[in-house]
Structure 1
Amino acid sequence: MIAVILATASAVVYGTADFFGGLATRRSRVLAVVALSQLAGLALILALLPALPGAFDGRAVLWGLGAGLSGAAGLVLFYRSLATGVMSVVAPTTAVTSAALPVGFGLLQGERPEATALLGVALGLGAVLLISQDRSGSASGSASSVLTALAAGAGFGGFFILLAMASAESGLWPLAGARVSSISLVLLLALATRRALKPASGSLGVIVAAGVLDMAANVLYLLAQRQGMLSLVAVLVSLYPASTLLLARRVLGERLHAIQLAGVACALGAVALIAVA
């Protein structure tokens, strides 16, 4: 039950972070938002390291470095797929892939959830697919954009898997390693493309909020994964688009489509099924 609570909280915080990140990208360049939010997250994790138990573990940090590279690569590929495809294809493809990979990995590692929990996993994957639908674009996309979206999902899924490989005794050190490697990759990309990382006036606060919330969600995920099965935790965490949608509806007045509302209902059902298993 503790893992379910932590994973669900992680999904809510991830979705809130994405909401703030979306607001920030309306004012500043995407690369500036990503770089500065990552730096804010690094500041938070460095502040939390002495507060939460855990010993420095070089092997765990290496897993974290790999996770950071995987997550950052997934983010770059995700934005690239959005530039060459349509959201209605790219978003669900990326989301379901990022959720399905940790589930498959967990099952291959010997995890055996109860039948009720497996039903919740199936419902959760369906919820991710429905919630991520965007009817503002056409329903088709190029083969290259779909392949890029699959690769982006693999990057995000790899982030979850690689973090799970670090020992529980390492505390939050894997997240510190992940953030160092992701920041390094983003800065190298900015140098290679000669992109300025200066945010637009008035957007820094929103960017910092996005970065701090994203790292807080990472911490909740790591704690949840250490309390429960990766195959269950990853699905619950991947329901984060639900909170983004609800915030957009509440704050910005954006209209939710019936298929997305059905996805939110499926998400609630998935959480309930996994919780009672």
Structure 2
Amino acid sequence: MVFALVAALGYGLSDFVGGLASRRTHVLRVVLVTYPVGLAGLLLVAPLAGGHLGGFDLVIAMIGGAANGLAIIWFYSALATGPMNVVSPLTALLVAGLPLVFGLVTGEPLGAVAIGGALLAVIAVVLVSREERTAVDEAGPVRFTVRVGWLTVGSGAAFAVYFVLLDQLPDDSGLWPLVVSRGTATALVLAAALVAGQFRMPERSAVALSVTAGLLDAVCNTAFLLALRTGLLAVVSVLTSLYPAATVLMARLVLGERTGRVQRLGLALAAISVTLIASGSAIA
């Protein structure tokens, strides 16, 4: 559970720093730095962790990486063309809910209290991810079209597939599943940037932020993999999906951004859900 919360914190901080960089340059230029930096960080520590990965497990890791890369591309495409206050919570719901359902269906032992906490956490994720609608939002040209809907559902489902596939890989594979999956995702992101005409370095003011986001991404992915190896997919996926709470809190502390009543309710429910999951898992 601790590793899952570390992963959630890392993902939230990485998104916050990456979001700051994206305010200064095109988002594809940001990921052109963050993904290779994250991959380089994993390549440095993977040999120290030992393990090996080959055969069908290697294929699974590559499929998971492809799912992760597509999820990022689809998610940002949905955010760019659709209403964020719909896209973000719907994606978060799928990312938290689908692995939870998969874990329960495949027979992971969870007590009633832990299940209740997990369901509460799913609600918290949606509330925390939801941005308050403003007059600007209502007057803006963005609409939740069929295309945006498919991109949103596709990104949430692809992130969930990545979570599930990573959980299927053997414990003796070390950090190599992350290296392979991140390498595959990096290749997809680079190709997307090339196709979109954004295959160039971000502005100087965004480089340091992008590098920091990449290093944080390597840390949180490592914590997530360790969480899967020491806990249940149903619990780990939900706890990790609480990462928007860290992003919201950092935006308030560093940028002075206001949190709406819906987000504050989500933060409170997130704290309660963590307590329930911890106590319920201990009982189970």
| TM-score, L = length of structure 2 | 0.93
State the alpha-carbon separation in 1 of the partners of residues 183 and 75 from structure 2. 20
Which segments of 5 or more consecutive residues in structure 2 lack a partner in the other structure? none
Residue 49 of structure 1 pairs with residue 46 of structure 2: yes
Written as runs of structure 1 = structure 2, the 5 A alignment for 1:20-59 is: 20-59=17-56
Amino acid across the alignment from 2:26: R
Residue 7 of structure 1 pairs with residue 4 of structure 2: yes
State the alpha-carbon separation in 2 of the partners of residues 92 and 143 from structure 1. 17
State the alpha-carbon separation in 2 of the partners of residues 141 and 188 from structure 1. 27
Partner of 1:93: 90
Residue 197 of structure 1 pairs with residue 197 of structure 2: no
Partner of 1:117: 114
Partner of 2:178: 175
Deviation at 1:140, TM superposition (A): 6.8
Partner of 1:70: 67
Aligned-residue identity in percent: 39
Deviation at 1:196, TM superposition (A): 2.8
Amino acid across the alignment from 2:93: V
How many residue pairs match? The answer is 274
State the alpha-carbon separation in 2 of the partners of residues 194 and 143 from structure 1. 25
> Does the aligned pair in 1 maintain the 2:81–2:143 contact within 8 Å?
no
Written as runs of structure 1 = structure 2, the 5 A alignment for 1:153-164 is: 153-164=156-167
Deviation at 1:11, TM superposition (A): 0.3
Deviation at 1:194, TM superposition (A): 2.7
Deviation at 1:84, TM superposition (A): 2.3
State the alpha-carbon separation in 1 of the partners of residues 48 and 269 from structure 2. 37
User: Residue 46 of structure 1: SS of its match in structure 2?
Assistant: helix
Amino acid across the alignment from 2:57: A
> Does the aligned pair in 1 maintain the 2:190–2:199 contact within 8 Å?
no
| TM-score, L = length of structure 1 | 0.95
> Does the aligned pair in 2 maintain the 1:60–1:173 contact within 8 Å?
no
Amino acid across the alignment from 1:273: L
Partner of 2:236: 233
Give the ranges of 4+ consecutive aligned residues of structure 1 lying more than 6 Å apart after TM superposition: none
Deviation at 1:191, TM superposition (A): 2.4
> Does the aligned pair in 1 maintain the 2:32–2:199 contact within 8 Å?
no
Aligned residue among 195, 209, 213 for 1:210: 213
Partner of 1:151: 154
**Cα deviation digits, residues 202-234 of structure 1 (max 9, x gap):** 221110110110121111011001111101110
Residue 19 of structure 1 pairs with residue 16 of structure 2: yes
- Against the structure 1 CA distance between its residues 149 and 47, is the aligned structure 2 distance closer, same or farther, given a 3 Å change threshold? same
**Cα deviation digits, residues 26-74 of structure 1 (max 9, x gap):** 1121111112100110111011112224233343332221111111111
Partner of 2:127: 130
Which segments of 5 or more consecutive residues in structure 1 lack a partner in the other structure? none
State the alpha-carbon separation in 1 of the partners of residues 120 and 196 from structure 2. 41
State the alpha-carbon separation in 1 of the partners of residues 188 and 207 from structure 2. 21
